[in-house]
Structures are given as structure tokens and as C-alpha cells.
Amino acid sequence: METYFLSIGELRAALAAGKLSAAQIITNTFERIASVEPHIHAYVKLLQESALAEAEQIDKEIKAGIIKPLSGIPIALKDILCTKGIETTCCSRILQNFVPPYDATVVTKLREAGAIFVGKTNMDEFAMGSSTETSLFGATRNPYDGERIPGGSSGGSAAAVAANECAAAIASDTGGSIRQPATLCGVVGLKPTYGRVSRYGLIAFASSMDQVGPITQNSADCATMLNVIAGYDRRDSTSVNIPVPDYTQFLGRDITGWKIGIPKEYFLDGIDAEIRRALNKTIEGLEANGAKCLEVSLPHTEYCIAVYYIIAPAEASSNLARYDGVKYGLRARNFGDLIDMYKKTRSYGFGAEVKRRIMLGTYVLSAGYYDAYYKKASQVRALIKRDFQEAFAICDVILAPTTPTCAFKIGEKIDDPMQMYLFDIFTLSANLAGIPGISVPCGYTEAGLPIGAQFLAGHFEEGKLLQIAAVHEQNAAFTKRRLRI
């Protein structure tokens, strides 16, 4: 039986009924990985031996009547989450061979829920990129077209789920890095509210925007994953101590009377015509289910890219200062004094994109420029957040495109940083405002490439996002296309 095509819900039902064993599921998953991974390169490390051993233990628990929320479910982890005893590199040379002595809180929660980790997934170096091309280990390929990107920085996680190399994956989103690759790979990706999921053990890029979230096949699986990973963590000073609802309870509820905001600033002339048509069909489907769509304005949207690429690099330059060759990670072999060691270690250890952002961030934080750049960007960030607060005062959720175009070809934008940055124009604002967002498939182009729609909601309203995503899935009149590789 080809178990790798089954969703988390289907796998749980089969395990509970005794129709499948965890060992069968994991064995089948690695057979699938062996078949497609040479074409996709979603993983940077596989954990077959430990996964099979854990599956045997899960089967013993199930026979004893112990069934946990994710018992026997094969899960992939983005290589930015610390895993005890397992190499965690952020796909950077400077962390090559780094083995953390502890698990990230999210990893611990998944283990306790019975999840089985099958591998660490490829990503842009230190999550800096939009295409998974800046990875030390090479690019990941889109399962729908091997010549195109899967998105980034969580391209490996999205590609693994889309290619059925795992049932779900955990990723991180600093400027759209869950939602954007989920869109390009035709799967569901949720960025929770900042503070909803613990960041302890997540290797930092931009601390005020990084957030951990799931990538899954459907909204029901997404709710199941969020139930496991959400919640307060005293080890994370940015974690918010408020109750966590059962997100699966939002599935199946209707949206009659809902007001859906359509931000005029997001529907620009540059959006691909096929994406616009798919979004129009999505709007028609939601209105047929009793929702009302109305135009809203987010007037400071035009400043999002400028604000993001001041604040994020500034925080990155501070966070990445710890990688100096002294405490852990790479250290240059031939050097003179301490300063020379710093220079050689960082020059060799970091890739071009990471260096670019460190230099930009250091510049905007330097004496004489802090007020002109970082302080001003922080003030505009407050205005962006206020735009969303005003919009959510008159609507329940916001519907917007996730990307301006579908997946572009590998190598097409890698030498043009500005074009690469512009690709995230519709996802950055949610991170700046700290609000949750979800990307859901809404169709395909004539060439067979996935198209996604993005829903945004107010702080800690992930339940609303899952509710409307489930309604959208029922409406969506399209069949999943066959993978090309």
C-alpha cells in the first residue's frame, strides 16, 4: 500500500483501526524518498535508522492502547531547528558539523505527540532567500517542474510535503518563508501569530519576526499540527501566555455573514493574469458560501519591502555576530591574531546573501545612521501594524495573493537581489505586523504550476484562518495535478 499519499488524518485512522503499522508507514516513506529525492533534493539529512526504531516503539504503544496525536506520523524538520544529537546547520558552512546538545521546544512537543522525524530539510542559508538557492547543499527543485524553484527559505520543507516524502513538515517564516513556498508547491502553509509558537531552539535570523509553523497537505492536518506545537514556553521571552484552543474545532464551521477584506494595494498591475483569475474564482466561491467581500486599504503597504530590508538585516547582523569561530561551528585554520581569525572564519563560513544582509544591517545600525534608517523603519512598522488593526475592525479576514507570479526558473533571479526581494512583496507585511497568515492552493496555471491564495487574520485568530481555509478547500473545483518528477 502506498501510504505516503495519505494525509495525517487518514494515517491516524488507519493506525487506530489496525490497518497499518507505524513501521509500514515509515518504511514506505523512505521508499518514496529513495525514489524521488534524487530529482528534488528536499532533504539535507535523512534519519532512517532512528525513524525505523521509533516506529517499532510506536507500534508497541499502539498495541498497548496508547495513541498520541501524531503517533507514527512521518514529519520533516527544517534544518533551522535544533535537534539533540543531530547535525543542525542552517545550510551554512559556518555551522557545518554543529550538533546541538538540546531539542527546540517545537521538536520536543512533536516527539511527545508521537511524531517520527524522517529528516532535516534544505533551506536558504540562515533562512535568507526566497528560492532555496542560497543553501550550502545546493538548490531544491519544485516537484511540479524540476527546472523551477520550490520557493524559500523553506523550499525543502514545502517540496518534501508536495512530493509526498513526509506527511507534514515544520518550517519557519520571517518574511513569508512558509506561505510563499507552500504556494509555489501547491500545499498548505501556516505562519502563526508571533508568540503563539515557541522560538526556543529556532536558530535566529530576525528575532522580532521569526515564527515556526506547519506545512501540510490540507487544512485539517494543519490544525492537528498547530494543536501540538502551539502554546506558552517560559524559555522563550517572546512566547505569549494565553490559552490554546482546539484548532480542529474550527473545521467544518460555515462563514455565513463573514466580511472578507480585499486590499486594493495587493492587487497590482504586475500580478500574473492566471493568479488574478484564480483569486477571482476563490472570491466567487467564498461569496457563494455566504461571505461578503469588500475593498479595504492598507496604505503603508508600499513601504513594506523597504522597512523589512532595514529591520531584518539589522537584527540578522546582531544575531549572526555570535558565529565568530570562538564558541562553536567553523573556525579558520590558518590565521594570525584574533581579528584575523574572525575575518577568515566569517569570510569563508558565510555565503554571499548572508554577507550582503550582515553588511546592510551593520550599516543601518551604525552611529549616525540609526535614527535615519532603523528608527524610522520601526516607526513605519508601527503604521503597517495599525493599517491591519483598522482593516480587521471592519472585516474578519483579508484575502490576498501570496506571490506576484508562479515559480520562476532556477538561476533566473539569483544574481538580481532586488528582483528576489520583490518576490516576497505580499508576505512581508504579516511578519512586520506579527499577525497570522495561511497559504492555500487555489488552482494551477495552464503550464501546470500551482497557484496559492493567502488569508490573513488578527492576532491569535489562527482558528479563523483554518475555518475559512477548510471552506475554501470544499469549494475549490480543481484536481491535484500529477507531479512531473
- Is residue 385 part of the annotated active site? The answer reads no
Q: Is the distance from CB of 159 to CB of 78 less than 8 angstroms?
A: no
- Is residue 153 part of the annotated active site? The answer reads yes
Q: Rounded to the nearest 5°, which phi and psi values hold at 170?
A: -110, 135
- Is residue 78 part of the annotated active site? The answer reads yes
Catalytic residue among 71, 78, 120, 464: 78
d(CA 100, CA 85): 6
Cα atoms in the Cβ-side hemisphere of radius 13 Å centred on 404: 17
- Length of the chain (residues): 485
| Alpha-helical runs (H) found in 75-191 | 105-112, 155-162, 179-185
Element (H, E) at 438: strand 437-444
Catalytic residue among 21, 130, 131, 153: 153
Q: Rounded to the nearest 5°, which phi and psi values hold at 361?
A: -65, -40
State the CB neighbour count (10 A cutoff) for residue 235: 12
Closest CA to 158 of 146, 148, 143: 143
Q: Rounded to the nearest 5°, which phi and psi values hold at 320?
A: -85, 0
Q: What is the DSSP letter of 415?
A: T
Write down the residue that cell numbers 564558541 correspond to: 327
Q: Rounded to the nearest 5°, which phi and psi values hold at 71?
A: -55, 120
Catalytic residue among 71, 157, 177, 439: 177
Cell triple for 290? 455566504
- Positions marked active-site: 78, 153, 177
